[in-house]
Structure 1
């Protein structure tokens, strides 16, 4: 297939109606080390919250993993009818980054998948061959056309408003551990051609502790076509203060293609989360939007409740659900990182 944008395809905003949310079930014990079993309560609460309004489709590695998940679904009172399990091998659980990018068509009900290359955030965590194969496996089982780009791109590095604009960060997409042969202009061309956007907006950096080199889904998220939530840090002594202030100032200067400025909603970062002296990338921006809910990570912080209130104000038609991600964040990611949405084949975008 030629470039998707030329054929009328684009990546919809996350609030577009969804068929399902895809997950890759955690099987890599190196990710959470001795905390591995402690992630299950939050992880299955996450599945249960998604299943309230749509299907949950899980890359479940093998038959033993499938049987384990089925046992846990019963234990956590999750309707098995809402969960589909696929014996697709994986290396790790971060489906946002290795999962398929689903595109929909502007004028008809067709869909397709963009199969970006995945190298575990610049080759940090080999092996990653099974994760890199997930998009093609899903395209095959769903009988959807797919196209390979030949370059590295992760779902957590890009944020869409569904109306032609993508937000991303220079620290990640311009990092030489991804596509060292490409210039900024060439990367922008790939974003336009394969995601179907017309405008690329750049912030500089991400948050401390983020091993992805600054994914945008930890810092800035669209909540409608012209409004973003951005996390900020009020403590000037905190290591996140300067980069988040720089990002905020950049957002204030941005214009959408029609000349509108962005509406900016600020949310204070949670109190720093440490484990064994390591600063973890805890952020309220790493929320997941489903058909009926917005699932937000919380961190036993004094800022949790206010963050949930602000996000609820941004999503009038969805219920905000806070889930304690204190154990999950030890793996250096949260709910958005763990998931990838499968949009309905409907050309109409509805907020």
Structure 2
């Protein structure tokens, strides 16, 4: 039996959480291992910010427990000793689903480190089952390479993703677009997939949707946009805006699109940094928003304003978006929500 047959579906991220999971960085797997201490400070900032709203479980390599505890010693934070290769729990952790009786289960996707980019990944592929076992959560094994950052749902049957990621031959080369859709519908109980074209320029995840667009509510999508025709993201976002303008959701609604201006171009060692306000994270009664400072101060303020107007009942908690971005991701990439069930 699969989640769809048993009436399980993936709730939207804004639904109430029991807790948030993140993984702690592993120095040997970092792109810039000499930055381990500063990146650790960035992770601590994110974990402590989330803990202001809800419990946090941090997956930590057993040898790092004491070091991490000194950085995040807070009553709402639990350290979970599980060996792992890398730090992006959104992508290798389970995707949680809930049934009509309020019972929580977890989808265990296959994980191959974003198309085999970072070996080894064997420990990361085993993290999700260990989390589900630890918390006594029913497990559904999906025969699909999938990362949590590559999808968003609206809770009413609609999923949004990108062709650049899900149709990339480095993930599931044996599957057609239709077969991938079928798997998403089976394991997340969605009935409509909206395919954007590409993710942001320079995104080494092959275009994860959580950097470019997310649902704010059923029928309402927030999207990061670019107004500079000289920027690679201009053509990317224009095409995605066109797709959204022509799309309807699972309930037949036309989508309202809320634009957020992208931060100014930034790079490190000649590599573009994937700066995105869309990598924010919903927490209970709040939003944790990465901001970038410096040349981005104006767009930081605009992003906070747009989100404040879109979610007037949520407290916006800002964190330093530059703290971990050189490693390839930001707040949303580090997190995975465990929804409240019964």
Describe how 1:265-276 pairs up with structure 2 within 5 A: 265-276=258-269
Distance 2:33 2:128 in 1: 27
Name 2:332's counterpart in structure 1. Answer: 336
Displacement of 1:316: 1.8
Displacement of 1:90: 0.8
Name 2:19's counterpart in structure 1. Answer: 20
Distance 2:41 2:34 in 1: 15
Name 1:323's counterpart in structure 2. Answer: 319
RMSD: 1.1
Name 2:66's counterpart in structure 1. Answer: 67
Displacement of 1:254: 0.8
Please say if residues 280 and 290 of structure 2, whose CA atoms lie closer than 8 Å, have aligned partners that are also in contact.
Answer: yes
Q: Which runs of 5+ in 1 are unaligned?
A: 347-351
Displacement of 1:208: 1.1
Distance 2:60 2:105 in 1: 23
Displacement of 1:50: 0.7
Alignment TM-score, normalising by the size of structure 1: 0.94
Describe how 1:233-312 pairs up with structure 2 within 5 A: 233-300=226-293, 301=296, 302-312=298-308
Name 2:35's counterpart in structure 1. Answer: 35
Distance 2:272 2:130 in 1: 35
- Asked whether 1:55 is paired with 2:48, we answer no
- Asked whether 1:87 is paired with 2:81, we answer yes
**Comparing 181-190 with 314-323, which one deviates more in the overlay?**
314-323
Distance 1:303 1:5 in 2: 41
Please say if residues 9 and 190 of structure 2, whose CA atoms lie closer than 8 Å, have aligned partners that are also in contact.
Answer: yes
Name 1:9's counterpart in structure 2. Answer: 8
**Secondary structure of 1:251's match?**
helix
Distance 2:157 2:23 in 1: 29
Displacement of 1:292: 2.4
Name 1:176's counterpart in structure 2. Answer: 169
Name 1:349's counterpart in structure 2. Answer: none
Alignment TM-score, normalising by the size of structure 2: 0.96
Q: Deviations over 1:200-228 (max 9, x none)?
A: 11100001111111000000011111111
Please say if residues 52 and 292 of structure 1, whose CA atoms lie closer than 8 Å, have aligned partners that are also in contact.
Answer: no
- Asked whether 1:101 is paired with 2:95, we answer yes
Displacement of 1:255: 0.7
Please say if residues 209 and 332 of structure 1, whose CA atoms lie closer than 8 Å, have aligned partners that are also in contact.
Answer: no
Describe how 1:84-163 pairs up with structure 2 within 5 A: 84-105=78-99, 107-163=100-156
Distance 2:169 2:193 in 1: 19
Distance 2:250 2:16 in 1: 24
Please say if residues 207 and 281 of structure 1, whose CA atoms lie closer than 8 Å, have aligned partners that are also in contact.
Answer: yes
**Comparing 309-318 with 262-271, which one deviates more in the overlay?**
309-318
Distance 1:253 1:33 in 2: 44
Distance 1:128 1:330 in 2: 20
Please say if residues 220 and 228 of structure 1, whose CA atoms lie closer than 8 Å, have aligned partners that are also in contact.
Answer: yes
Q: Deviations over 1:242-283 (max 9, x none)?
A: 011100111111112332111110011000111111101111
Kindly report structure 1 stretches of 4+ aligned residues shifted beyond 4 Å: none
